Structure 1
Amino acid sequence: MSSGELKDGVDQASNGSHENNDHQTGRSEEAQETAQSPTGIRSSSGWDGKLRVQPRSAVLANPEALSDPEYSDPDAPPVEQIPADDDLLDDEDPDVEDIDLVHCRISSLPSLRLDRFSKLKRLCLRQNAIEDIQLPDELGQMLEELDLYDNLIKHLELGQFDKFTNLRTLDLSFNKLKHIKNLSSLTSLKELYFVQNRITKIENLESLTNLTMIELAANRIRDIEGLDHLTQLKELWLGKNKITEIKNIGHLQNLRLIDLKSNRLTSISGLKDLPNLEELYISHNAITDISPESLKNNTKLRVLDISNNRIAKLENIGHLKELEEFWASANGFADFRDVERELADKEKLETVYFEANPLQLNGPAVYRNKIRLALPQVKQIDATFVRV
């Protein structure tokens, strides 16, 4: 499931995101938060933006921004362009490899005179007012990570990244982009973040064959497509879109994690050709059952999150011997015998979530004891650790 401290926009938002720095998130710090998500802090709608697995951690300061693409912070100071003679980097070592200019009201990149930093590898310009990506070509051979999370970028212009062939990580989350385009020169790119933009289609990624992770949560995507050449992909994050069917991913044999929470799925399908899948997040959909074929070939699954669906019966997961975490809150499970039948033999299972099912709602006083009797190996039931 196991991104995104998701960088600060959610400074906790995007591990927004990188297993590098801010873009990654850990388990929630509070029990209540932990109860909501197997991977970290999440909104009430079930989406965690870039908040994801350890060691990523951060705190979402303006949760309303997740549901309102036009959101602007009413308490934020007015944006002021930095005059060309106001040198924010005057005291910076010319040989510096890492520059962070977070929330500095920057709107003009040329005024920063970045060409003087010939050894720069990581540039973080998060939470500014940048509209145009005007980076000096001199940075092209050295820069490995570029963070433009939470700016005002509307377009990716032709030629903007032509010289940046060594870039490994690009974060364009929380901008105003409608299209993925003009990134073909970034052939070394490993991680690409587009959280909370206005993207409707996965496209123009053919040349990015070294991508191992792409994060497209909170956009307007309806179909899983455009991934044909991304055979190195290990993580695919598509939460909070408008996807109705899992498809066009059978060729992604290196895929270890798929996140499709908060979409419009009604069934679990399209996974039979992914035997190496280890983490599947499909909470907050409209799935009604787990059919015998749904997860038949996904025997390496370690984390399965089916919370907040409409599944009436717990069945057809008995063959998932590698399960370590099973998140199944807010479904229709009512029979403890099903829990024991499907999960009792899972020696690696440590965490289960069944709250807000009839199992818990119909007998809250005895619920935990019954789960402990059925699954003596587990160490955590919902948000509470089991006392030894």
Structure 2
Amino acid sequence: MAEELDLTNAHLHSLENVDVHQGLTVSWHSLKGVATISAISCCSPVSAAQAVDLTANRLKEVDPRLLALKGLRSLNFRQNLLTDVSAWDSCSCKGTLEDLEFRDNQLTQIPPLNGFVALRRLEFSYNEIRSLEPVASLSCAPLRELYVAANKITAIAGLSSLTALTVLELGSNRIRQVEGLEAQGALVELWLGRNRLERVQGLGHLTNLVRLSLQSNRLDSMLGLEGCTSLEELYLSHNGILKLKGLDTLTRLKVLDVSSNRLTAVDNLGSLSRLEDLWLNDNQIPTLDGLDTALASQRESLTTVYLHGNPAAGDPRYKEKLLALLPRLAQLDDKVLPSKT
């Protein structure tokens, strides 16, 4: 049985020279120097393949012969020129397909997905899609990862039946409000950077969330995350946040990135005794005075601190003071410090 049909970087405009019916068991990487794919001697049917990878070609449509493949578990159309993949609704592998990727094409719509009962990972990032609604048709699928970054999505919708989701990537869209995540209590990672969010809301019930990205939005406050008590990584850079507030319950935080905001003080971090990485660069923190008190709880945990781009970093004893304050510091700004052992 052919485990994988790999045609990555083959620069194919179509699959017409691939004898799908007779089968192909070699990967594109072993075809270098061969004049045409059709000249290859094949011995195993493509219909037996479990994975087909067509990354980085120039395909403009789905070859009808691919729709007839049975038992397929993974299909990758990444970096092609597809504009319409609605034909995939009639494929023969709905009962087995677990991983489907259409990243970096020219799609304006997510195709119908009725009947894909085994799908666990779905990728539509870097297209021109405006609506998430079609994913609602996956109500019977155990979908765990959904990636629709860098599209034109304006609202989070169609996810109510996807209760098994653990990863949701919607960065670089046009979302103005966090809503429609009421059924996503299993989420572990949520990526909403580079949207148009003005406040944190609709996230308090996500008690299993470990990683959250809200960078490059329009936030002036971080309040609203108090219920996300499992958070270990929180990314809030490039907003307009004025104060460090609402962090008391986030005692598991290991990474806090609030760089490129409008902070004028370091405070309210007392409960974050597990913090390892603290990014405060490019704010308006005036001085290092009081930092020993502000970071007392992190004296033995912090290994990485970024403070450059603040007036405080102009202190002539900047490095010396930080090293004295934080004995485990291994990186200060972009400089890796010499090992103390």
TM-score range, shorter chain: 0.7 to 0.9
Gaps of 5+ in 2: 1-10, 26-43
Q: Given that residues 12 and 57 in structure 2 are in contact (C-alpha distance below 8 angstroms), is that contact kept between their aligned partners in structure 1? A: no
What one-letter code is carried by the residue in structure 1 that aligns with 2:107?
I
Using CA pairs under 8 Å that are at least 6 residues apart, name the structure with larger relative contact order, 1 or 2: 1
Deviation of 1:141 (Å): 1.4
Structure 1 equivalent of residue 61 of structure 2: 108
How far apart in 2 are the matches of 1:351 and 1:132?
46
Aligned-CA RMSD value: 1.9
Equivalent in 318, 326, 341 of residue 375 of structure 1: 326
Question: How far apart are residue 116 of structure 1 and its match?
Answer: 5.1
Superposition deviation, residue 101 in structure 1? 0.8
TM-score (norm 1): 0.74
Counterpart in 2 of 1:82? 14
In structure 2, C-alpha distance between the alignment counterparts of 1:259 and 1:88, rounded to whole Å: 45
* Distance in 2 of aligned mates of 1:319 and 1:138: 54
Task: Report deviation, 1:120.
Answer: 2.1
**Which one of 9, 20, 24 corresponds to residue 91 of structure 1?**
24
Work out whether residues 248 and 270 of structure 2, in 8 Å CA contact, stay in contact via their aligned partners in 1: no
Q: Which residue of 2 aligns with 1:73?
A: none
C-alpha separation between the residues in 1 aligned to 2:173 and 2:252?
29
Alignment deviations for residues 62-97 of structure 1 (CA, whole Å, 9 cap, x no partner): xxxxxxxxxxxxxxxxx98526x3327552453332
The percent identity for this pair of structures is 35
Distance 2:151 2:230 in 1: 30
Name the residue aligned to 1:278.
232
1:223-246 C-alpha deviation (Å, 9 max, x unpaired) = 000101111111110000000000
Which of these residues, 84, 93, 106, is aligned with residue 139 of structure 1? 93
Q: Could you tell me how far apart the structure 1 residues matched to 2:268 and 2:297 are? A: 14
> 1:201-240 to 2 correspondence within 5 Å?
201-240=155-194
Secondary structure of the structure 1 residue equivalent to 2:190: strand
Q: Deviations over 1:321-364 (max 9, x none)?
A: 1111111111122332332212244222211111111121x23x
On the 8 A contact 1:244/1:265 being kept in 2, the answer is yes
Count of aligned positions: 302
Q: Find the aligned partners of 1:196 and 1:115 in 2 and give their Cα distance.
A: 27
Q: Distance in 1 between matches of 2:189 and 2:239?
A: 20
Residues in 2 aligned to 1:348 and 1:375: alpha-carbon distance in whole angstroms: 8
**Relative to 1, partners in 2 of residues 1:231 and 1:123: Cα closer, same or farther, differing over 3 Å?**
same
> What is the alpha-carbon distance in structure 1 between the residues aligned to residue 74 and residue 206 of structure 2?
29
Compute the TM-score of the two structures, normalised by the length of structure 2.
0.84
2:5 maps to what in 1?
Answer: none
CA distance in 1, matches of 2:68, 2:83: 22
Contact preservation (8 Å) 1:336, 1:374: no
User: What is the one-letter code of the residue matched to 2:153?
Assistant: I
Matched, 1:332 2:281: no
